[in-house]
Amino acid sequence: MEMQLLDHLGKFMSCTVTVFIMFQYFDTKYARRFYSRFLYTIIKFLCLSANYMLYLIDNPVVNMLFWLVMTLFVGGTLYYDNHLGRIKCFIINYVFVLSNAICEAVGVMLVNAANYFLHLNQDRYTFSFVRTVAGSAACVLLYYLVLKRIFIQKKAERIFVVQYLIYAVATVYVLVSIGEILVLGTQETDSIAFRFMILNAFFGIFLNLYLFYLLDAFAENKELKYRITLYEKQEKLNYEYYTKQADNYKTALSVLHDIRKHAKVLRELDQKEKLLEVQSYANAFENMLSPLLLKQYCRNVIFNIIINDKEDFCAKNNIDFEVEVRDIDIDFMEPIDITTIFGNLLDNAVEACKEMEKRHIVLEAKAFNGLIYVQLSNSFSGKIRWDSRGFPLSNKGEQHGIGLKNAEKILKKYNGSMEFSTVEDMFTVKILLSGCKDPC
């Protein structure tokens, strides 16, 4: 009776893990049709209950048919995706269900192989529990390491090295627990100790599930924080731009108010043939008007604001800033993406120049054959570290490196590429954009 209860405990655990992974997949990949969290909680509970009742039949085909029907129902009525067609969503979801089942089968096959090669003689219910635990452990690990990266590409974030290490340690912990039950279950072991090992494996699965979920949420939160920083930077640029425009408006009113006086003075000086005074007065008048004009490098407002902002900063900090932008149209890019790419790269260039005696930045952008080519060069110290892909590594901590990685990710969104090079004391980044979003 006790061993049968153990088998039921394992089946309940497997159902819970499967329901959690399935609904996390839907919640991450798609948008909810309804706002009621209570509704989705009830659906999860009903799904778990039904899955558990069918699991007791101990027929993998029945279990798989249940999930195929549930996937059709959940994906069709509770979630939606405006970018994917209904049929395509169903196909992707079914492939995911099959892939998840394969992941569970991997864990079961490993336990079967271990039992075969070690010639273990396990109790039927204990062996069933161990296989269920191993299948759930494989589901959790492979979902976060493989399936999520394949099926939720647009939302899955990078896995950091520390995450890999924690994944490995947590998985090894569960595998050791499974191995202890397999080996010691065939020997005479104190019942209390054996129960402890079983509970250890049982709760180890849920600990893994919760830990992996937290690690992924932490990675996504880290990138979201940087994304918020970019939005704040863009808002600051917009605010400064409109503040400057308001000041320019006041100056323009003042100039317009006195325009007749200025014209009268110029006519009088001209009549008296005082050419030097005319030229001096005209220059002063031109200097008065120049702050009213935002230099137009292209038709995109955000790109102009970024360049003008960096140009003003360079002028105040003795940095020689050359700009040559010829006939480019980047209106196909979202404003935040323009800030991510050009704001980050120009910030990096300015930061590198601050430490140099010779401070020089050159920005060139042009269009040809439907492509947009951008080249940004800046003075640098000559000391730089590169990663295996030929990308520069930041010397100022991980947060600075995120900016470049985000720029690379945004470029892929627009079918673009980025490469780096150095010539003597100049560092250069070259960008190529296809001129459209997503595959053309």
Buried/exposed code over 97-119 (b: 16+ C-beta within 10 A; e: otherwise): beebbebbebbbebbeebbeeee
Q: How many CA atoms, within 13 angstroms, populate the side-chain half-sphere of residue 367?
A: 10
Between 439 and 264, name the one with better pLDDT. Answer: 264
Q: What is the pLDDT of residues 47-80, one digit of tens each?
A: 999 988 887 787 778 888 888 899 889 988 899 8
Q: What is the pLDDT of residue 310?
A: 87
CA distances from 364 to 204, 375, 411 (A): 56, 5, 17
What distance in Å separates the CA atoms of residue 314 and residue 350, rounded to the nearest whole number?
8
Contact criterion met (CB below 8 Å) for 351 and 304 = no
Shared domain for 120 and 39, answered yes or no, is yes
Shared domain for 47 and 22, answered yes or no, is yes
Q: What is the pLDDT of residue 36?
A: 87
Shared domain for 330 and 200, answered yes or no, is no
| pLDDT at residue 158 greater than cutoff 70 | no
Shared domain for 402 and 279, answered yes or no, is no
Between 362 and 197, name the one with better pLDDT. Answer: 362
Single-letter residue type at 70: M
Shared domain for 210 and 67, answered yes or no, is yes
Instruction: Return the percentage of the chain with pLDDT > 70, whole number.
Output: 69
Q: What is the pLDDT of residues 301-310, one digit of tens each?
A: 788 888 888 8
Shared domain for 183 and 46, answered yes or no, is yes
Q: What is the pLDDT of residue 80?
A: 85
Q: What is the mean pLDDT of the chain?
A: 76
Q: What is the pLDDT of residue 278?
A: 60
Residue at 181 is within a domain: yes
CA 385 to chain centre: 24
Between 109 and 199, name the one with better pLDDT. Answer: 109
Last residue of a domain, one of 239, 271, 293: 293
Cα angle 237-243-245, degrees, rounded to a multiple of 5: 100
| pLDDT at residue 439 greater than cutoff 50 | no
Q: What is the pLDDT of residue 246?
A: 56
pLDDT grade for 244, boundaries at 50, 70 and 90: low
Q: What is the CATH number of the domain that holds 397?
A: 3.30.565.10
| pLDDT at residue 281 greater than cutoff 80 | no
Torsion angle of alpha carbons 140, 145, 151, 152, nearest 10°?
100
pLDDT grade for 280, boundaries at 50, 70 and 90: confident
pLDDT grade for 440, boundaries at 50, 70 and 90: very low
Shared domain for 306 and 168, answered yes or no, is no
Residue at 124 is within a domain: yes
Shared domain for 395 and 424, answered yes or no, is yes
What's the domain range around 18? 2-230
Single-letter residue type at 389: R
Name the H helices within 143-258. Answer: 148-151, 161-184, 191-257
Residue at 252 is within a domain: no
Residue at 90 is within a domain: yes
Residue at 249 is within a domain: no
What distance in Å separates the CA atoms of residue 393 and residue 385, rounded to the nearest whole number?
5
Shared domain for 289 and 316, answered yes or no, is no
pLDDT grade for 26, boundaries at 50, 70 and 90: very high
Instruction: Return the percentage of the chain with pLDDT > 90, whole number.
Output: 10
Residue at 348 is within a domain: yes
Determine the angle formed by the axes of helices 259-271 and 275-289, rounding to 10 degrees: 160
In the numeric block, the tokens 């100039």 are attached to 255
Residue at 247 is within a domain: no
Average pLDDT estimate for 289-315: 77
Please state, as a whole number, how many other Cβ atoms lie within 10 Å of the Cβ of residue 189: 15
| Helix (H) or strand (E) segment spanning residue 429 | strand 426-433
pLDDT grade for 430, boundaries at 50, 70 and 90: very high
What distance in Å separates the CA atoms of residue 125 and residue 297, rounded to the nearest whole number?
74
Last residue of a domain, one of 268, 293, 318: 293
Between 330 and 200, name the one with better pLDDT. Answer: 330
Shared domain for 64 and 170, answered yes or no, is yes
| pLDDT at residue 349 greater than cutoff 80 | yes
Q: What is the pLDDT of residues 183-193, one digit of tens each?
A: 665 555 556 65
| Helix (H) or strand (E) segment spanning residue 19 | helix 2-29
Q: What is the pLDDT of residue 335?
A: 81
Cα angle 330-332-333, degrees, rounded to a multiple of 5: 75
Shared domain for 284 and 395, answered yes or no, is no
Shared domain for 314 and 168, answered yes or no, is no
In the numeric block, the tokens 């005319």 are attached to 278
- Residue 149 makes CB contacts below 8 A (sequence gap 6+) with 156, 159
Q: What is the pLDDT of residues 357-370, one digit of tens each?
A: 888 999 999 887 88
| pLDDT at residue 398 greater than cutoff 50 | no
Total structural domains within the chain: 3
Residue at 250 is within a domain: no
Between 273 and 228, name the one with better pLDDT. Answer: 228
What distance in Å separates the CA atoms of residue 319 and residue 295, rounded to the nearest whole number?
18
